Amino acid sequence: MLARSFPMIGSRRSLRVLERNAMIYRAQWVMLVSGFFEPLFYLLSIGIGLNKLVGNLHVHGQVISYVAFVAPGMLATSAMNGAMIDSIFNTFFRLKISHSYDAILATPLEVTDIALGEVLWALSRATVYSASFIVCMAALGDTSSPWVIFCWPGAILTSLTFSCMGLAACTFMRTWQDFDLVTLVQLPLFLFSGTFFPITSYPHWLGAIVWFSPLYQSAALLRGLSLGQFDWIMIFRAGYLLFIALIGLYIAARRFKKILTP
């Protein structure tokens, strides 16, 4: 009974989906390389412009530059955007336009292997891009703590959360027009998740809502890691993101079965 209530969400065969995507993008290497320039442009624009205008901020008893405050939030945003693009836009094309998954199901792979494989592909790209973002942060002096290295697994966890959420959301989309709803969700998350200024700057009612945002929890987690601030709330933030990821992957696996299984 328990096995029926909680079906498997993939197996080792999902690595074949990861391999397939890697082979496809190998011929589109320009798209992969372009992702390395995003963090550099982000951090340069903030460091050259806004950093001098805003000045220093007080964060949990530490005085840090504005760019040191924003950089972890931008890392979280970059991880979210990359995961959403891979799990929503690319998956929708394969699911509803090219019907690539129908051909994959002619092999020994199962529907849940496809769902898990797409998540693994999003994570593989996030691992590389997050590393390049952190290298840019260190090279430009946007962090003064060696603990910033722990932002790497934090960013990968962020990508896991949003790739699972995006994969689940993709299964409910019917046409290209539904992508407007994705933008409708992404933009408020980007602007109101503590990325550019502390959540204490919000009205109390808005801050209470924002606190439950997965992007805010990610930004706060990465900011704390970059500053070397380790306490119990950091464990809660990581657990919160992991919980949402598991729920999203479970929904995605169930929906893929419903759509692709005759």
Structure confidence by residue, pLDDT tens digits, 32-62: 566 667 667 777 777 666 666 676 776 766 7
Determine the pLDDT at residue 9. Answer: 63
Using DSSP's 3-state secondary structure scheme, residue 62 falls into strand
Determine the pLDDT at residue 238. Answer: 95
H or E segment and range at residue 59: strand 56-59
| 121 to 27, 86, 230: CA distances (angstroms) | 16, 8, 30
What DSSP character marks residue 49?
I
Residues of the chain by 3-state class (helix, strand, coil), percent to 5: 75, 5, 20
Determine the pLDDT at residue 241. Answer: 96
Using DSSP's 3-state secondary structure scheme, residue 192 falls into coil
Positions in the chain short of pLDDT 50: 1-7
| 3 to 9, 56, 122, 197, 258: CA distances (angstroms) | 11, 54, 27, 45, 18
Tokens of 66: 């504005």
Q: Is the dihedral of CA 214, 219, 223, 225 positive or negative?
A: positive
